[in-house]
Amino acid sequence: ENVVTQSPDTLSLSPGERATLSCRTSQTITYTYLAWYQQKFGQAPRLLIYDISTRASGVPDRFSGSGSGTDFTLTITGLEPEDFAVYYCQQYGTSPLTFGGGTKVEIK
Amino acid sequence: EVQLVESGGGLVQPGGSLRLSCAASGFTFSSSWMNWVRQAPGRGLEWVAHIRKDGGEIHYVDSVRGRFTISRDNAKNSLYLQMNSLRVEDTAVYYCVKGSGWLTMNWGQGTLVTVS
């Protein structure tokens, strides 16, 4: 199983600041099969980024993904009030598909 | 617009069974991998199972293999999850998710299963 680890658990930032979320997999991912999801309280997750760096339809360009191999980053440039949420990364190249434990981005 | 509506959740005793359903619309169901993903209260996401568009390939997470069965009916645009021998630790919101290949792309709103 390809274990996914996210850090930090919580990120306390102010609106307008830059958020940098980290994701590490225990094995090199297959191709570029790494995704990021946003989940707000009481809602279903929403796909933000797939294939490491491709934004899903309708996702603002302040969200960007990068990385390779086993180390990946989600960057939110200029946090908006609606961006405060929990973010999960996931590898979807090998079964079982695995998610990280999540990073909560909270208002400082 | 992709719509996924789960049903069948509820309260069940340990050792019991439950069948979840997902009604899909707004896309060509028979062309898509489909998934179940769950989230225990206050916890993270756990992928449970997925099924290929023709039903010919299925994968499960180890913790449910042998107890849960994923299936689909392409004529009815429906996905199912038969859950047997339920445990307290299976308590979660269960999401039906449309795939693009193995990418979990579009999520339903979920149905709550409580084992107690």
Task: Give the CA distances from residue B57 to residues A64, B21, B42, B70, in Å, rounded to whole numbers and listed in that order.
Answer: 33, 19, 32, 11
**B interface with A, Cβ–Cβ below 8 Å:** 35, 44-47, 50, 59-62, 95, 101-110
- Please check whether residue B33 is in contact with residue B107, taking contact to mean a CB–CB distance below 8 angstroms: no
In whole angstroms, give the CA distance from residue A103 to residue A84.
10
pLDDT digits (tens, 9 = 90+) for A56-85: 999 999 999 999 999 999 999 999 999 999
User: According to the model, what pLDDT value does residue B72 have?
Assistant: 98
Q: Is A52 left (phi over 0), alpha (psi -120 to 50) or beta?
A: left
Q: CA distances (Å), A100 to each of A3, A34, B28, B79, B99, in order?
A: 8, 11, 30, 26, 19
pLDDT per position as a tens digit, B28-53: 999 999 999 999 999 999 999 999 99
pLDDT tens digit sequence for B62-113: 999 999 999 999 999 999 999 999 999 999 999 999 999 999 999 999 999 9
Distance from CA of B24 to the nearest CA of A (A): 16
What's the pLDDT at A31? 93
